[in-house]
Amino acid sequence: MQNIRYAFILAALTLYCGIVAADPAMTESGAALGSHEQGLSIYKGIPFASAPVGALRWREPLPAKAWQGVRKALAFAPACMQTGVSMPGEDPPAVSEDCLFLNIWTPATRPKAQAGLPVLVWIYGGAYSNGSASMPLYHGDRLAQQGIIVVTIAYRLGPLGYLAHPELTRESAHGSSGNYGLMDQIAALRWVQRNIAAFGGDPEKVTVAGQSAGAMSVSELMASPQAKGLFQRAIGQSGGLFEPWQLAPGYVLANAEKDGVKYAESRGVATLQELRRLPAAELIRGDVRAVSHPVLDPYVLPLSPYDAFSRGLQNDVPLLLGSNTEEARSLIDVSAVKAATFAAGLEQSVGPLPPPLLAAYPYHTDPEARQARLDLETALRFGWDMWAWARLQVKTGKHPVYYYAFDQHPPFPAGSPYAGWGPSHFAELWYMFNHLDQQTWRWTRADRKLARDMSAYWVNFAKSGNPNGKGLAQWPAYAGTDGRVLHFGDPSIIGGVPGIRGLEVFDAVYQSVRGKEE
């Protein structure tokens, strides 16, 4: 009788909606009906946790509620509450506090004798403040067509995802608060472990991947005891959480709780009960950066990623990571930087810096000053973190690291939101997802080859923990401080870590802050 019902629904969708329906997949909460497109079965808006609303706001996510019958998984769910967009030119997504959903792209057919397919779970970036699992750039179609399953997951953002508060700590069974967004990611990975076989996936071949804040989240998941065993490989693109926590004391739970109290006062309330009654839109109004970041807490993140890796306590898996050679171009405007006011302008932006850091980025003319500012910001925000992450995994882990530097200049047209970016933050995403076709820019043959190669490297890594494969240039495992990295460009070549001299100065400064040697 159940098979007859499924067949009737499939026929009705095809006849009346023009949708070619995929076979329903039976999850722990009920059957989900997806669509069949381009040789793939696609399932959109599947809940992996209960709605974190009302009394469940600022609590660890609970399993999704069961549903009756067959749930249509044909449309993306709203993104989590947020302000702004995660990429220039992106259309703002529809948002809701009820947002804990995921999307799946899986090959529609495969040989019957084949075991479950590898799975890549994508975590979006957006400074923990915005981002969407349904953004077209992140669609998993081109990767899934190469023989893996792609899952994009949502997680709570801003103060709804990361608020710490003394009352939240007291009500917690774990004596902690904050990190609800990170707990959402862990809940999604647990859902994948329990359910991905129904979509043809192998829960023993899961890769967790992300960019920017998504990559920082990957570093946190590798450090979190709660995520142990939930993935077998990891990919971090342009983001990691490795700077000394002494430079960001607000990340420590006791200080984060104080920021949470100040935040509640800024909303005009004094208690957690009053906070839970406020509309979600009121909670994300204004500048909420002080309560929109991870917290070092005794349950989810008892050690910073740096400390976890230094002690060999990370979730040790093969690692693919890297960053772009001109990350800062898309994030800061250096048009007004002058040689005469370089130091003062930098201090106004990021605070006072040790003299050795300034000396590591010399300049004489205004153009040199602008380039020095870009290079320093790139190292400060991304370069050092990726270098530290790679070195720590090589030193204390048993699994290899594959390290890249993205140096391709996409044909960003004048007048677009991306004009003048070069190989900056975000630029690699069109290539690794092989989604050049989403933009009508003047892509070259070299661009298209690089997109094919990068997507193939990522897929190979998800399949085996090694990105190398037929038709691709050999990518050696990174060997430590003096190791070689793959520079993606035209052509792609093996070389050293970009900006290594400046990174070494950053490293010395950070070690002095920690007061100990790595």
Q: Are 427 and 410 in contact (CB under 8 A)?
A: yes
Task: Extract the tokens encoding 155.
Answer: 């997680």
Tell me, yes or no, if 41 is annotated catalytic.
no
Q: Are 120 and 133 in contact (CB under 8 A)?
A: no
d(CA 305, CA 100): 25
What are the strands of the beta sheet with 319-324, ordered from one edge? 35-37, 40-47, 101-107, 149-153, 117-123, 201-211, 233-237, 319-324, 401-406, 485-488, 493-495
| Bridge-based pairing state of the strands 35-37 and 40-47 | antiparallel
Q: Is 426 left (phi over 0), alpha (psi -120 to 50) or beta?
A: left
Q: End-to-end CA distance of the chain, in Å?
A: 64
What SS3 class is residue 233? strand
Which one of the listed residues 139, 165, 293, 425 is annotated catalytic? 425
CA angle 242, 164, 191 (to 5 degrees): 75
Half-sphere exposure of 144 (CA within 13 A, CB side): 30
Q: Specify the residue for token string 């706001």.
A: 57
Question: How is residue 175 annotated by DSSP?
Answer: S
Closest Cα to residue 108, out of 135, 83, 70, 141?
141
Closest Cα to residue 156, out of 3, 307, 48?
48
Which one of the listed residues 176, 212, 238, 304 is annotated catalytic? 212
Which amino acid is residue 258, in one-letter code?
Answer: K
Q: Are 384 and 507 in contact (CB under 8 A)?
A: yes
What SS3 class is residue 302? coil
Question: How is residue 475 annotated by DSSP?
Answer: -
Which amino acid is residue 176, in one-letter code?
Answer: S
Tell me, yes or no, if 425 is annotated catalytic.
yes
d(CA 336, CA 264): 37
Closest Cα to residue 204, out of 143, 119, 146?
119
Which one of the listed residues 97, 220, 243, 327 is annotated catalytic? 327
Tell me, yes or no, if 435 is annotated catalytic.
no
d(CA 452, CA 304): 36
Interacting residues of 474 by C-beta distance below 8 A, sequence separation 6+: 468
d(CA 451, CA 434): 5
Element (H, E) at 101: strand 101-107
d(CA 52, CA 59): 7
Neighbours of 63 (CB within 10 A): 15
Q: Are 51 and 100 in contact (CB under 8 A)?
A: yes
Task: Extract the tokens encoding 160.
Answer: 């709804």
Q: Which residues have a catalytic role annotated?
A: 212, 327, 425
